[in-house]
Chain A
Amino acid sequence: GDSVTQMEGPVTLSEEAFLTINCTYTATGYPSLFWYVQYPGEGLQLLLKATKADDKGSNKGFEATYRKETTSFHLEKGSVQVSDSAVYFCALITPTRGSYIPTFGRGTSLIVHP
């Protein structure tokens, strides 16, 4: 079945450091790919998405490129802030699972120190 693998956390960085959170996937068909973010005490919210190969999703300084050849969707940010501290979830949707039910990774916690 479909699956998403994320790097284990926590990822601990200093403010203004470069961030990469790795995400790879296994899926039948052609998935849409997502990054969701969960700030402390809140539910998940969509950060960015890409629906086809070579698409780049971007939002709030975060970017991720849909790489079909490496089945990856790594999240990057050039300069993190303390306010980026959160848990980040990679997810995919394929029609084989039916009706847009996403498959989530286990989440990666990011801690940014001043």
Chain B
Amino acid sequence: DVKVTQSSRYLVKRTGEKVFLECVQDMDHENMFWYRQDPGLGLRLIYFSYDVKMKEKGDIPEGYSVSREKKERFSLILESASTNQTSMYLCAGRGGATDTQYFGPGTRLTVL
């Protein structure tokens, strides 16, 4: 089975802190994605990556950056966390030959 793992299930940070959310996939997916999920808003795409060292902005990139130094790892970075970034963050991977996304379990981030 495809496996996408996220480094933390729950995270509490303070306003202004730099936050790293890590995602690792084990299926050699070229494409990886970061979403945030908020009640009533569904999933919104933050950033995605087609390959190592490549990144593209999604629908809501402001306040976020990403890093993809290795194919299996895609990190989401909050340079200076703010309370409006309190959310559930979901990572997903997709292999080149399929249109199905495989999601990690999510990280629930609270910024105080």
Interface residues of A (CB under 8 A from B): 32, 34, 36, 41-46, 49, 89, 93, 99-102, 104-107
Q: Number of B residues contacting the other chain (C-beta, 8 Å)?
A: 22
**List of 5 A-B pairs having minimum Cβ-Cβ separation, nearest first:** A43-B103, A106-B42, A44-B103, A104-B43, A100-B99
A-B contacts, 13 of them at CB < 8 A, read A41-B105, A43-B92, A43-B104, A43-B105, A44-B92, A44-B103, A45-B102, A46-B101, A101-B48, A101-B58, A102-B101, A104-B43, A107-B43
Q: Are A45 and B103 in contact (CB under 8 A)?
A: yes
Q: How far is the CA of A102 from the CA of B58 in the complex (A)?
A: 11
Task: Tell whether, in the assembled complex, residue A89 and residue B31 are in contact, meaning their CB atoms are under 8 Å apart.
Answer: no
Nearest Cβ in chain B — how far from A24, in angstroms?
A: 15
A89 touches B43 (CB 8 A): yes
Give chain A nearest CB distance to B102 CB in angstroms.
Answer: 8
Query: Which residue of B has the minimal Cβ distance to A46?
Result: B100
